[in-house]
């Protein structure tokens, strides 16, 4: 395994390349980014005080056409004593290599290998449970779908699951059963067939419009383009299969917290309203689907939030962090 090296985010962030099995496009890697908690103060050491999450590991997985870059999200955890790790999945962000089809897989369980490699590098064993530390899985959008399916298939590993606008259902839920058979045929015969580009770049524009100089983010446009990466038939079918599994009911045995915007709006034309809504998912459908992932689910609806609630305008972003802190504090107290 390679060594930890300084990450592009600078400051306290490091990255580790995780070698994975080759696929039909050649060598494949994932990349694990970490931020460790600051050393406790002399006063805390003298009094024997420990921080709230001193025994917690967090693993973050990004969404579609995305990668990890949110420094403040990492520091939310590290200032409370947790070790924070973020995984750039194969063919995304730091893990994308020349000649690869960005983001392309045909089965979401393919990421089991990426996740197992991350756990091994975190010192948890490939199954994730070989540690005395508690584990929090944190996923955004497609990453939330991926981690929900993973946690359901691997009971007893995660101690908590936190989902930031998880893509748990197709944008037109009633159409999914009709679309799925066609998508399956396309995936079988032409898995790399590209769908028409329907993203007009308004979600990216909304993020830029609400950017906060006091909480800056430096985004690599190659790794996170203004318009989403090309959607291929094989990948789309994998997503629909995941949605079908959620609709049938998952069995996550850890408490789940779901953070969502209060409203959705279709991004068919630009308006100021798109800076206060989720323009990617239908949040009411996601809220309903979230209740099917496990037996202990909290849904937090945040007024004025974007699709990534932690990239919203100031008031909504602070509300998102406040609600996350409240939920984490309650969860941690039970441990």
Q: Each residue of 281-302: pLDDT tens digit?
A: 999 999 999 999 999 999 999 9
Q: What is the CATH number of the domain that holds 200?
A: 3.40.50.1820
What's the whole-model pTM score? 0.96
Query: What is the rounded distance in angstroms from the CA atom of residue 130 to the CA atom of residue 125?
Result: 5
* 48, pLDDT greater than 80: no
pLDDT average, residue stretch 11-34? 97
Q: Give residue 45's pLDDT.
A: 65
Mean pLDDT for all residues in the chain: 95
* 41, pLDDT greater than 80: no
CA distances to 62, 95, 210 from 103, rounded to whole Å, are 11, 10, 27
Structural domain including 218 reads 5-334
* 22, pLDDT greater than 90: yes
* 2, pLDDT greater than 90: no
- Per-residue confidence band for 44, with pLDDT thresholds at 50, 70 and 90: low
Q: Taking Cα atoms as reference points, which of 120, 146, 2 lies closest to residue 66?
A: 146
Query: What is the rounded distance in angstroms from the CA atom of residue 198 to the CA atom of residue 267?
Result: 10
Q: Which of 100-109, 132-141, 150-159, 208-217 has the lowest mean pLDDT?
A: 208-217
Query: What is the rounded distance in angstroms from the CA atom of residue 193 to the CA atom of residue 235?
Result: 10
Q: Give residue 43's pLDDT.
A: 64
Taking only the tens place, the pLDDT of each residue in 84-127 is 999 999 999 999 999 999 999 999 999 999 999 999 999 999 99
Say how many domains are in the chain. Answer: 1
pLDDT average, residue stretch 6-28? 97
User: Token pair of 81, please?
Assistant: 């004593």
* 42, pLDDT greater than 70: no
């Amino acid at each position: 395994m390679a060594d930890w090296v300084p990450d592009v985010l600078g400051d306290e962030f490091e990255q580790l390349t995780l070698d994975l099995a080759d696929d039909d496009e050649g060598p494949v890697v994932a990349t694990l980014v970490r931020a460790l908690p600051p050393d406790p103060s002399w006063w805390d050491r003298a009094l024997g005080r420990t921080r709230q999450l001193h025994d917690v590991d967090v693993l973050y997985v990004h969404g579609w056409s995305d990668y990890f870059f949110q420094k403040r999200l990492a520091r939310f955890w590290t200032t409370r004593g947790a070790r924070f790790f973020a995984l750039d999945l194969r063919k995304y962000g730091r893990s994308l290599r020349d000649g690869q089809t960005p983001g392309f897989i045909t089965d979401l369980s393919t990421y089991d290998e990426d996740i197992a490699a991350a756990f091994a590098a975190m010192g948890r064993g490939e199954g994730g449970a070989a540690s005395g530390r508690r584990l929090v899985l944190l996923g955004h959008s497609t990453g939330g779908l991926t981690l929900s399916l993973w946690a359901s298939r691997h009971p007893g590993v995660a101690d908590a699951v936190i989902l930031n606008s998880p893509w748990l259902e197709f944008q037109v839920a009633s159409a999914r059963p009709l679309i799925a058979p066609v998508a399956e045929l396309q995936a079988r015969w032409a898995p790399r067939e590209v769908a028409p580009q329907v993203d007009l770049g308004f979600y990216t524009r909304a993020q830029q419009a609400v950017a906060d100089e006091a909480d800056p983010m430096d985004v690599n446009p190659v790794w996170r383009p203004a318009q989403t990466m090309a959607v291929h038939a094989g990948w789309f079918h994998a997503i629909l299969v995941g949605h079908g599994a959620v609709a049938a009911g998952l069995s996550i045995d850890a408490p789940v917290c779901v953070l969502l915007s209060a409203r959705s709006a279709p991004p068919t034309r630009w308006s100021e309203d798109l800076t206060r809504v989720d323009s990617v998912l239908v949040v009411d459908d996601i809220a309903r689907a979230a209740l099917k992932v496990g037996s202990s689910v909290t849904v937090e609806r945040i007024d004025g939030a974007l699709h990534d609630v932690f990239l919203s305008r100031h008031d909504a972003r602070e509300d998102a962090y406040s609600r996350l802190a409240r939920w984490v504090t309650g969860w941690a107290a039970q441990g």
